[in-house]
């Protein structure tokens, strides 16, 4: 064994408690990095899964104006030839009723009573429960894709069975299955809010035969629990003026997020047969190749599609979720660098203290033949041992903690534990590098120390020039960080970012860490006297104790500073994540809808101050517009959504494509102004300052457009709530105005929707 290794191992084994505490601190840093890496990877993967299930993977889409309008299917082949298109497919969505006549046992009105325990009934008594039939009905939003690529763009989580493969097959989600089940229907009626706990295994069980009668309530409930929609059951599509069509349930999919509308899935041929139309789709979804800008593709092909089709980005792009997911890597990089710097500072402080205590021992080793290089190498090896040991313990601990969290929050993190390679490497290699960096200063001091200087260490104090040098180096490091931020040129975003991460941030931390030495020395000079009097100590004891070893106390203060900065950085990043991303998805917590709601309804909602933070009443008025077609050929309707601007913007987050909220609200209050959805800008180029003309009962009305908006959060939920089609800014043809204008110009102020922000 080489002499340097022997010296390092001997020193570690001789000071087990100190080295154990240093190793524990390093292990915690390593565990923090591993846990953050795994947690972020799992959260990002789960968000991606949820996002794909809600809005799909497509970057842009082609739709037709109007709720019943369709896109020609033959356009799909032309779209697939566009440059930059990686994958394109068509999808057809429609809402129609599914009906099942479920046999069940109901209480016999002629029965003398019910025996819950199932005891024998009198011979001449009527049976307690007799066979009957209940018609269960639900109208899900059924989606079909023209080819298998459609499922790739919008994955469907199948929890039982499979997706449909033939025209006479259908897969329904667990919510739809529960609505088509006997006991689930009873539960919905009992709880009054439509919340049902769905067990997937329940729908995989085959129905049991229903006898003509039973006497036991328990037996009746057991039999009823197996009736309704199950794998292999047959449901009917019953529409006006068409023959009923039988469909076989072949799959049960996961319940839609946010408690949204029931959903179903069929083949394209099957849904075309139900609708009685072919060669049409609701939308064409397009996934672009990596690096292709959606805006450039839209600009290149928008004119080719004409005015009757809309080519625009999907909610996945407008919500900015992908970029926000990528930006979370910044949080990981910053947290990792801060954790590694903190570990380096802790090792530096510990080994510097150890060096101060062992100076005489090291001097004796020099006197008996040890070289400077051997002693310096032993210091570096101690740091390497601490780093490697900390990584060996901390990495599995961090991964285990992340696994525990994903297990506890398995519903929120459906992707499960994900261990990224980058996180593991950062946790192991980074921690060992941190150990070497922390040991570098003690190793340097060992190289510069002579035997006589080491033997006389207790008779000499720290020279003032060393503290001054520490101050100068710290100032240079802080100035380097400041120069990166201050003198950055426009267009150097990439250079500035990576320079700041790998140069500016370490300089900032190292500078403040070194500044701890002169700062501690200065604070001691100023505050040691009052502190000594307060603690009842001799006048000069406290000051001389600190000034005798300024680097030990200064580095200790710097290490504490690093730990505090790490906590502040993680808190700040988390707050930014919640504020700048999740806050962007802000939308009302609840809706109340009806054909005509009186003002007293909103007053009643506002009176629930224990639960309700704010509410806004919306009047939805259908008006005609020429913005999406030629009036002589087609008549399009848009929803004029009237609201109170202050209340509305207090509970709904809106992205302003053109204009700003403050100016728009002021103009709305003046009257004669509207805010339009992004489709108006996409289809007709109608934007800020243009005039919007609509007709109500044949009379034209003109408004000034004071803003163009889109709402990522409302865009996501609009796919799952019928209310979204009439309420959200992303709904086709939506324009926003004030209730004052609605009353003055249309003579209508009836409330259709009340959106509620809960506490």
Is residue 247 very low, low, confident or very high in pLDDT (cuts 50, 70, 90)?
very high
For 466-494, what is each residue's pLDDT tens digit?
888 889 999 999 898 888 877 766 556 66
* 569 pLDDT above the threshold of 50: yes
Is residue 241 very low, low, confident or very high in pLDDT (cuts 50, 70, 90)?
confident
Note whether 290 and 398 are same-domain residues. no
Domain stop point among 313, 345, 375: 313
Reading the block at residue 30, the tokens are 């390593």
535 belongs to a structural domain: no
Note the pLDDT of residue 440: 83
Note whether 190 and 247 are same-domain residues. yes
For 190-204, what is each residue's pLDDT tens digit?
333 334 445 656 777
* 189 pLDDT above the threshold of 50: no
> Residue 697: is it exposed, middle or buried by C-beta count within 10 angstroms (0-12/13-18/19+)?
exposed
625 belongs to a structural domain: yes
**Residue range(s) defining the domain that contains residue 695:** 590-758
522 belongs to a structural domain: no
Closest CA to 509 of 555, 572, 574, 558: 558
Note whether 505 and 429 are same-domain residues. yes
Q: Determine the Cα–Cα distance for residues 540 and 538; give it in Å rounded to an integer.
A: 6
Mean pLDDT over 712-735 rounds to 45
Note whether 244 and 334 are same-domain residues. no
Note whether 343 and 456 are same-domain residues. yes
Mean pLDDT over 33-49 rounds to 79
Residue 10 φ/ψ, nearest 5 degrees: -65, -40
Note the pLDDT of residue 492: 64
Kindly list the distances between the CA atom of residue 325 and the CA atoms of 41, 51, 191, in Å, as whole numbers in the listed order: 10, 11, 38
649 belongs to a structural domain: yes
Mean pLDDT over 410-430 rounds to 80
* 280 pLDDT above the threshold of 60: yes
Kindly list the distances between the CA atom of residue 589 and the CA atoms of 54, 296, 615, 616, 654, in Å, as whole numbers in the listed order: 18, 36, 10, 12, 15
For 168-188, what is each residue's pLDDT tens digit?
999 998 888 888 887 644 444
Note whether 344 and 418 are same-domain residues. yes
Is residue 127 very low, low, confident or very high in pLDDT (cuts 50, 70, 90)?
confident
Domain stop point among 292, 313, 334: 313
Q: What is the DSSP letter of 585?
A: G
Is residue 653 very low, low, confident or very high in pLDDT (cuts 50, 70, 90)?
confident
Q: Determine the Cα–Cα distance for residues 564 and 367; give it in Å rounded to an integer.
A: 43
For residues 297-333, b (16+ Cβ closer than 10 Å) or e, as one string?
Answer: bbeebeeebeebbbbbbbbbbbbebeebbeebeebbb
For 6-37, what is each residue's pLDDT tens digit?
878 887 787 788 788 888 888 888 888 888 88
How many domains, in total, are found in the chain?
Answer: 3
Confirm if 315 and 715 have CB atoms less than 8 A apart.
yes
Mean pLDDT over 311-323 rounds to 69
Is residue 359 very low, low, confident or very high in pLDDT (cuts 50, 70, 90)?
confident
Note whether 460 and 357 are same-domain residues. yes
685 belongs to a structural domain: yes
Note whether 571 and 603 are same-domain residues. no
Higher pLDDT, 591 or 643: 643
Q: Answer yes or no: pTM beyond 0.75.
A: no
Closest CA to 514 of 557, 548, 545: 557
Note whether 76 and 203 are same-domain residues. yes
* 416 pLDDT above the threshold of 60: yes
Note whether 453 and 384 are same-domain residues. yes
Which range has the worst mean pLDDT, 135-149, 443-457, 504-518?
443-457
Tell me the pLDDT of the chain averaged across its residues: 78
Q: Determine the Cα–Cα distance for residues 612 and 601; give it in Å rounded to an integer.
A: 13
Is residue 143 very low, low, confident or very high in pLDDT (cuts 50, 70, 90)?
very high
* 726 pLDDT above the threshold of 70: no
Note whether 85 and 173 are same-domain residues. yes
Q: Determine the Cα–Cα distance for residues 352 and 379; give it in Å rounded to an integer.
A: 10
Kindly list the distances between the CA atom of residue 548 and the CA atoms of 30, 60, 278, 359, 540, in Å, as whole numbers in the listed order: 33, 69, 89, 15, 12
Domain stop point among 289, 313, 337: 313
Note the pLDDT of residue 119: 47
Note whether 398 and 256 are same-domain residues. no
Which range has the worst mean pLDDT, 262-276, 508-522, 554-568?
554-568
Range 469-475 contact pairs with CB under 8 angstroms and sequence separation of 24 or more: 470/514, 470/515, 470/517, 470/518, 470/551, 470/554, 471/514, 471/515, 471/517, 471/518, 473/511, 473/514, 474/510, 474/511, 474/512, 474/513, 474/514, 474/515, 474/517, 474/518, 475/511, 475/515
**Who contacts 253 (Cβ-Cβ below 8 Å, separation ≥6)?**
156, 157, 158, 159, 171, 172, 173, 174, 263, 265
Higher pLDDT, 309 or 123: 309
102 belongs to a structural domain: no
């Amino acid at each position: 064994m080489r002499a340097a290794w022997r010296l390092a191992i001997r020193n570690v084994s001789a000071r087990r408690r100190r080295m154990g505490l240093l190793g524990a601190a390093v292990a915690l840093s390593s565990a923090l990095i591993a846990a953050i890496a795994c947690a972020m990877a799992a959260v990002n993967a789960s968000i991606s899964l949820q996002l794909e299930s809600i809005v799909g993977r497509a970057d842009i889409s082609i739709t037709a104006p109007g709720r019943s309008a369709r896109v020609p299917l033959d356009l799909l082949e032309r779209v697939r030839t566009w440059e930059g298109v990686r994958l394109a497919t068509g999808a057809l969505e429609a809402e129609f009723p599914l009906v099942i006549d479920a046999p069940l046992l109901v209480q016999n009105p002629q029965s003398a009573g019910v025996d819950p325990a199932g005891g024998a009934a009198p011979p001449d008594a009527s049976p307690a429960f007799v066979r009957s039939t209940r018609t269960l009905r639900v109208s899900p939003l059924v989606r079909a894709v023209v080819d298998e690529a459609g499922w790739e763009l919008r994955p469907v989580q199948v929890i039982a069975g499979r997706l449909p493969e033939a025209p006479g097959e259908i897969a329904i989600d667990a919510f739809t299955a529960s609505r088509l089940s006997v006991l689930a229907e009873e539960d919905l009626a009992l709880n009054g809010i439509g919340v049902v706990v769905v067990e997937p295994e329940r729908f995989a069980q085959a129905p049991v035969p229903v006898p003509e009668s039973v006497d036991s309530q328990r037996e009746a409930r057991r039999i009823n629990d197996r009736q309704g929609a199950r794998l292999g059951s047959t449901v009917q599509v019953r529409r006006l003026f068409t023959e009923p069509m039988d469909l076989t349930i072949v799959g049960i999919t996961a319940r839609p997020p946010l408690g949204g509308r029931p959903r179903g899935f069929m083949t394209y041929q099957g849904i075309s047969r139900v609708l009685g139309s072919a060669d049409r789709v609701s939308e064409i979804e397009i996934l672009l190749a990596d690096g292709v800008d959606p805006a450039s593709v839209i600009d290149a092909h928008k004119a080719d599609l004409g005015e009757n089709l809309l080519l625009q980005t999907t909610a996945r792009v407008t919500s900015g979720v992908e970029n926000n997911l990528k930006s979370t890597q910044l949080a990981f990089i910053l947290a990792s660098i801060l954790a590694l710097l903190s570990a380096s500072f802790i090792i530096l402080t510990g080994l510097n203290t150890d060096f101060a205590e062992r100076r005489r021992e090291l001097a004796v080793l020099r006197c008996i033949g040890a070289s400077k290089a051997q002693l310096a190498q032993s210091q570096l090896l101690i740091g390497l041992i601490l780093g490697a040991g900390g990584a060996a313990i901390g990495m599995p601990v961090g991964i285990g903690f992340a696994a525990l969290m994903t297990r506890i929050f398995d519903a929120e993190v459906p992707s499960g534990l994900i261990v990224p390679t980058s996180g593991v490497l950062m946790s192991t290699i980074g921690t060992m590098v941190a150990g070497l960096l922390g040991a570098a200063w003690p190793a340097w001091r060992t190289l510069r120390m002579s035997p006589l200087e080491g033997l006389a260490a207790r008779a000499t104090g720290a020279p003032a020039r060393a503290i001054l040098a520490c101050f100068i180096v710290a100032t240079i490091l802080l100035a380097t960080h400041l120069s990166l931020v201050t003198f950055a040129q426009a267009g150097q975003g990439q250079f500035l970012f990576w320079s700041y991460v790998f140069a500016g941030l370490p300089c900032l931390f190292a500078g403040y860490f070194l500044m701890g030495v002169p700062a501690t020395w200065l604070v001691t000079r100023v505050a040691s006297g009052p502190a000594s009097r307060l603690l009842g100590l001799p006048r000069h004891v406290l000051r001389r104790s600190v000034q005798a070893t300024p680097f030990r106390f200064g580095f200790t203060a710097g290490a504490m500073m690093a730990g505090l900065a790490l906590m502040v950085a993680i808190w700040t990043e988390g707050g930014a994540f919640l504020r700048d991303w999740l806050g962007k998805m802000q939308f009302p917590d609840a809706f109340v809808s009806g054909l005509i709601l009186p003002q007293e309804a909103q007053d009643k909602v506002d009176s629930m101050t224990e639960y309700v933070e704010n509410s806004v009443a919306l009047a939805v008025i259908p008006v005609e517009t020429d913005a999406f077609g030629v009036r002589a050929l087609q008549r399009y309707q848009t929803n004029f959504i009237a609201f109170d601007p202050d209340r509305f913007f207090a509970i709904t987050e809106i992205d302003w494509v053109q204009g700003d909220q403050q100016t728009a609200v002021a103009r709305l209050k003046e009257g004669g102004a509207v805010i339009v959805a992004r489709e108006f800008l996409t289809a007709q180029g109608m934007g800020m300052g243009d005039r919007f003309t609509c007709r109500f009962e044949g009379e034209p009305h003109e408004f000034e457009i004071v803003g163009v908006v889109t709402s990522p959060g409302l865009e996501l939920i609009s796919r799952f709530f019928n209310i979204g089609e009439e309420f959200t800014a992303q709904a086709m043809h939506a324009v926003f105005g004030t209730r004052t204008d609605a009353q003055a110009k249309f003579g209508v102020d009836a409330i259709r929707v009340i959106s509620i922000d809960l506490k």
